[in-house]
Amino acid sequence: MRMIKTTRVFRPFSIGKTGNCRRFVSCRLPFLLLAAILSMSACDQTDSRQSAKIDDRDASIAELHNLGWLGADAQPLNATLTMPDPENPDASVTPGGIVIVKVLGGWPLDAAQLKAGDVIVRVADDWLPIKEDPTLDLIKAVEDQINAGRKEIEVGYYRDGKFAKALIQTELESLDHGLPRPVARMVDLSTATLKHLARLQTDDGSFAVAADNVDAKLIATSMSGLAFLSADPSASNEFEQSVAGCLKYIGEQLDRFASDSEAAGLDPLTASHVALFLSESDIQLMDEDWLERLGVVLDSFATHQHESGGWNVSELDYTDVDSDAEPSEPSVDILATFTTNQVLLALGVLERKGMTIDNAMIERAMTWLNEQSRLRVPSTVDRRVKALLSAGTAAALSALNCDRNDLLLKEHLAGALDRAHDVLTAPQLGLPGLVSIAIAARQAGNESWLQFHESVKHLAVSLPRPDGSVSDYPNVKRDPLDFELRVAGESWTTAHIGLLISMQSQSLEKLMAIETPDSMIVRDSTGKKSDGSAGMPVLKLDGANTADAEALKKMIMDQLKEQGMDVDESKLEIKTVEKTDDD
């Protein structure tokens, strides 16, 4: 291609967009024949065409480096790509892109002859949007083609200065086929992931973590064991040996804590993870050894409960350290709320297992959690945190057999589900937060689970590689919790991803609060025994002469706030009905 040097300057002007892909037409200059030139350059924030998009980007969005069953490692295109429009030689387009880093042999992208360095920019007729990470948009576009029944999916890519097309062959079924029952593709995904997890188990039954200490290993081993137990019944027998290894290691460590009077005792966050696994296992409470070991777990909860009612609670300093301002209002203690949610969830599943739980312990913790829910999330913390904390509280309340009509339970669940998509693409409490929102959605029934599935399905198929291993996730700009640093490692990541994918199988009956023993207490959101009026607070209103619906709504909202209930006013409806003789 012959380049013609000229001092004249021209800029393309926008005539419209396809999705988030910009489409331009070049000005035709007299006596100068312009060749269509494909150019790729680093983003320039001074470029008016780019600066608007850069300003809209969310810097916390995770960079996923896996294309799942397509068979490639990839990364987002951190550059501006402008190319001729294949359908209109006089126009150019500026799509988003995904750069192939490595192609796995024998999988769809390899069969379609794509290779490292190729930039995928289009699926069928849809250009990828310009955003920091359009990976999930690529996965969604491919899945939309599968949903439409197509067995050949056209992919457009940029290579060596040219736009080219390739066909991906697939016989896969829709991710939604069979809902709300387990989806076959998801079952296959979770089974492959759990098989990889089983290969990571060490000879003593534990799983390696970043911090080589018992607490960290117990947490990772418990979550791995829980993941194995979550497997679809059709594949559960494949992991019996792995579960037995987890039980062996955990049992030995709990025996050591029980026999060593000088030991510091089990950390409550560690104990909560152990309890989640043991509650779902087939151990029997009539087994004296396991009864004693579970006693170690309950002792940890009783011993470490803070006088405020929560766990891992520090005395908060509400002073703004970085300013000379007056002390600020109290804010949410994030780590303590997360830990307290985990402990209460553990207490709920242990009670479902048949353990006798001190209800006073639960009431103290719920009083503290309710106080926390009315505090603000610090401005320095990402907006997703509150949704994750709400999910943890909703999961704990459901496991503790809180009345499903309780207003606070409904509020926490709604807060979690409303931000499910944001949370899943850029979690701010890491993988444990993702599990919390999955548990809360599953406990709430099919409608909530379908809403959650809609948010998670494209993420789920992008994370596991064909061999069952998973990409590092989440990869967000945040300060991880201390315990996350201790338990970090391949087994920790793999266990959580396998658990998230396989939850649809409903194998975790205690954790999902599917079965409730007849003897179990029905509680309200304060932890107290419910009188059957949960979710229907008695409001004393002098509204006999109030005909105006808005005035009556204000009276109701004021009463609810006085009772500590933060209800979305838009969801409160006032209806006028005619009184009948039967009233």
| Neighbour count for residue 237 (Cβ, 10 Å) | 9
**Over 90: is that where the pLDDT of 556 sits?**
no
User: What confidence category does residue 253 fall into, taking pLDDT thresholds of 50, 70 and 90?
Assistant: very high
Residue 345 to residue 582: CA distance in whole angstroms: 45
Higher pLDDT, 542 or 359: 359
Residue 108 to residue 244: CA distance in whole angstroms: 37
**Over 60: is that where the pLDDT of 322 sits?**
no
Those residues with Cβ within 8 angstroms of residue 406's Cβ, 6 or more apart along the chain or in another chain: 397, 524, 525, 530, 534, 535
Average pLDDT estimate for 501-530 = 90
Average pLDDT estimate for 201-225 = 95
Higher pLDDT, 5 or 125: 125
Residue 497 to residue 189: CA distance in whole angstroms: 10
CB 199 within 8 A of CB 467: no
Please tell me the predicted confidence (pLDDT) of residue 2. Answer: 33
Please tell me the predicted confidence (pLDDT) of residue 229. Answer: 97
Tell me the two tokens of residue 296: 């170690």
pLDDT single digits (tens) 434-444: 899 999 998 98
Q: Can you tell me whether residue 475 is helix, strand or coil?
A: coil
Higher pLDDT, 559 or 368: 368
Tell me the two tokens of residue 350: 């242990």
Please tell me the predicted confidence (pLDDT) of residue 536. Answer: 46
pLDDT single digits (tens) 52-78: 222 234 444 556 678 999 999 998 888
Please tell me the predicted confidence (pLDDT) of residue 542. Answer: 56
pLDDT single digits (tens) 424-470: 777 777 888 889 999 999 898 888 888 888 888 888 898 899 999 98
**Over 70: is that where the pLDDT of 204 sits?**
yes
**Over 80: is that where the pLDDT of 324 sits?**
no
Residue showing tokens 């990889």: 196
Q: What is the pTM of this model?
A: 0.80
User: What's CA 546's distance to the chain center, in Å?
Assistant: 45
**Over 70: is that where the pLDDT of 32 sits?**
no
Average pLDDT estimate for 251-256 = 95
